[in-house]
Amino acid sequence: MSPIALIPRPQHLDELDEPPFVLGETSTVVVEPRPELIQTGVLTADLFGRLSGRAIEVRYAGAEPAPGAIVLTRTGPVADGGPGADETYQVVVRAGRVEVRSPSVAGLVHGVVTLRQLATVEEGSVRIPAVRIQDAPRFAWRGLSIDVARHFFGVEDLKGVIGLMAHYKLNVLHLHLTDDQGWRLHVPSRPKLTELSSDSAVGGDRGGFYTPGDFAALTEYAAARGIRVVPEIDVPGHVNAALHAYGELTPSGEPTDAYDGIEVGFSRLHADLPATQPFLEAVFTDVAAMTAGEHVHIGGDEVLTMEPEEYARFVALASQVVRAAGKKVVGWQEIAQTPLEPGTVVQYWDTRVDPEPFVRAAREGALLLMSPGSKSYLDMKYDPTFPLGLEWAGHIEVRDSYDWEPTTLVEGVPAESVVGVEAAVWTETLRTVDDLTTMLLPRLAAVAEVAWTPPQARDWADFRTRVAQHGRFWDHLGVAWHRSPQVDWTTRP
């Protein structure tokens, strides 16, 4: 790819009047001998080794690197650099040497994937054009939410998605782990959740779940690529899987039947049942203990049969349990109708509702995460004839996912209250990894640029030209993607 094909578009890019860097037989990756940097060095060597077809050695910093080195250096913190300052990175590519510098491992990863996007293979030789790049993200939260409850995707499937996320500098993987159709994370204190409610999925398909070991391995894999995992346990609605496993959570004391449909709003917990608070305390405490990051998502959406007073008490209780376990609270936009602690993240998804609760929540210290269904719900059909997806939020083509501004989405919410942007993909109709990536690509690249690049540097015509070159990379990976008619792709079907 050429430099202009970088996604997200960087803040500053200067093409240097020099020959390109050519990855040679003596090329090495050079890092300081610190565990987290060694890991990043190994990932870099593996990435370019696979691209070049030859093994690349990782060496420790010390003596002057030999020509042909890719040098990764961790710098000091950036003062007053904005919400994403620790992810700032610099890349300088010259004929004999590449330097990537950042105050964080995540920033180094961003620099490395920038190099990967710049790299071309010509006559068996990997070349990177001579450039100088200075870059930093606009928002600190740049996420993708994946519903693994309605259809289950295993660890290896998610590792592939994490690779795509890292390629486009997304840094939060939000997993919707529980719903009416299935419970996908083993909770040691409530083992029947996975014993009885993990093997179902929409349409009678096979389910599955993650063990604590699976979840830890996934978290570690994501962290090495600059991505943190946010688990979601959706309460007090979307809970039929929990009610099926533990009948004491129902007013009758009887467990519900398993459910494999796609309707919403019919199941809920009850704040005043004796079993409810111990259940919340056990589940969220266990989930928090498995979570390396600082956030746990409590859900809170589409509770259609609960009175506002009970709902507010329930949100307060779930939030209290999460905070007591040492984590910060995230919830869907409905929680903005209740009193919230400052710093709570409210995930905005339905643009059809009254903005007043969000304005009030922001005024009282809440942060808004922008996931508008009409722009960033990537399970929506591309057009009315598309065979996958739903269309309750409309049809979303690539330009729809690109042409919107997060800080003006909710009138009256100040820009500084917007913590970031998150795409979401719900899996009612998505059964395979090919289904999943077809809905993600190319729209995920569009949302990633909205999350990273300030509005004055974004332009649809320019993005359309750049993303046209990324189909070759997706083909190289062997992933399925949608050839949107809005883009003149440079790769043939």
Share above pLDDT 70 across residues of the chain, in percent, rounded to a whole number: 98
pLDDT grade, residue 66 (50/70/90)? confident
β partners of residue 144 = 173, 423
Among 167, 122, 133, residue whose Cα is nearest residue 22: 122
Element (H, E) at 308: helix 308-324
Q: Hey, what amino acid is at 487?
A: V
Mean pLDDT, rounded, for 322-331: 98
Per-residue pLDDT tens digits for 98-157 = 999 999 999 999 999 999 999 999 877 899 999 999 999 999 999 999 999 999 999 999
Other Cβ atoms less than 10 A from the Cβ of 261: the count is 13
CB 87 within 8 A of CB 105: no
The pLDDT, as a whole number, for residue 493 is 67
Quote the CA–CA distance of 403 and 385 in Å, as a whole number: 23
**Residue partners of 61: CB distance under 8 A and separation at least 6:** 30, 31, 32, 33, 71, 73
pLDDT digits (tens, 9 = 90+) for 334-353: 999 999 999 999 999 999 99
Closest CA to 168 of 9, 302, 378, 354: 9
Q: What percent of the chain has pLDDT over 90?
A: 93
Residue 3's pLDDT band (cuts 50, 70, 90)? very low
Residues 45, 35: Cα–Cα separation, whole Å: 15
Token pair, residue 136, equals 């930093």
**Structure confidence at residue 85 (pLDDT):** 87
Give phi and psi for 388, each to the nearest 5: -110, 155
Exposure string of 178-202, with b = 16+ CB inside 10 Å and e = fewer, is bbbbbbbbbbeebeebbebbbebbb
Whole-number Å distance between alpha carbons of 466 and 379: 23
The overall average pLDDT reported for the chain is 96
The pLDDT assigned to 61 comes to 87
- The secondary structure of residue 16, as a DSSP letter, is -
Check if the beta carbon of residue 451 is closer than 8 Å to that of residue 472.
no
pLDDT value at residue 12? 96
Q: What pLDDT was estimated at residue 76? A: 85
Instruction: Name the catalytic one among 248, 302, 341, 391.
Output: 302
Q: Is the pLDDT of residue 1 over 50?
A: no
CA gap 486, 119 in Å, rounded: 26
Q: Which two tokens stand for residue 376?
A: 């960033």
Cα separation of 317 and 243, whole Å? 19
Instruction: For the beta carbon of residue 410, count every other beta carbon within 10 angstroms.
Output: 22
Give per-residue pLDDT as tens, 436-482.
999 999 999 999 999 999 999 999 999 999 999 999 999 999 999 99
Mean pLDDT to the nearest integer, 49-78: 88
pLDDT tens by residue, 190-209: 999 999 999 999 999 999 99
For the segment 230-241, the average pLDDT, to the nearest whole number, is: 98
pLDDT one-digit tens code per residue, 259-307: 999 999 999 999 999 999 999 999 999 999 999 999 999 999 999 999 9
Name the band, by pLDDT with cuts 50, 70 and 90, for residue 217.
Answer: very high
Active site residue 302: yes
**Residue 22 confidence (pLDDT) above 80:** yes
Query: Is-cis flag, bond preceding 493, omega within 30?
Result: no
CB 107 within 8 A of CB 122: no
Number of helices (H) and strands (E) in the chain: give both, helices first: 15, 18
Residue 237 has pLDDT above 70, yes or no: yes
Owner of token pair 């068996």: 124
**Tell me: the pLDDT tens digits for 144-170?**
999 999 999 999 999 999 999 999 999
pLDDT at 4 over 90: no
Per-residue CA distances from 388 to 295, 425, 434, 481 (Å): 31, 12, 11, 12
Q: State the Cα–Cα distance between residues 130 and 124, nearest whole angstrom.
A: 19
Give the mean pLDDT of 210-222.
98
Q: Average the pLDDT over 55-79 and give the result.
A: 87
Q: Is pLDDT above 70 for 314?
A: yes
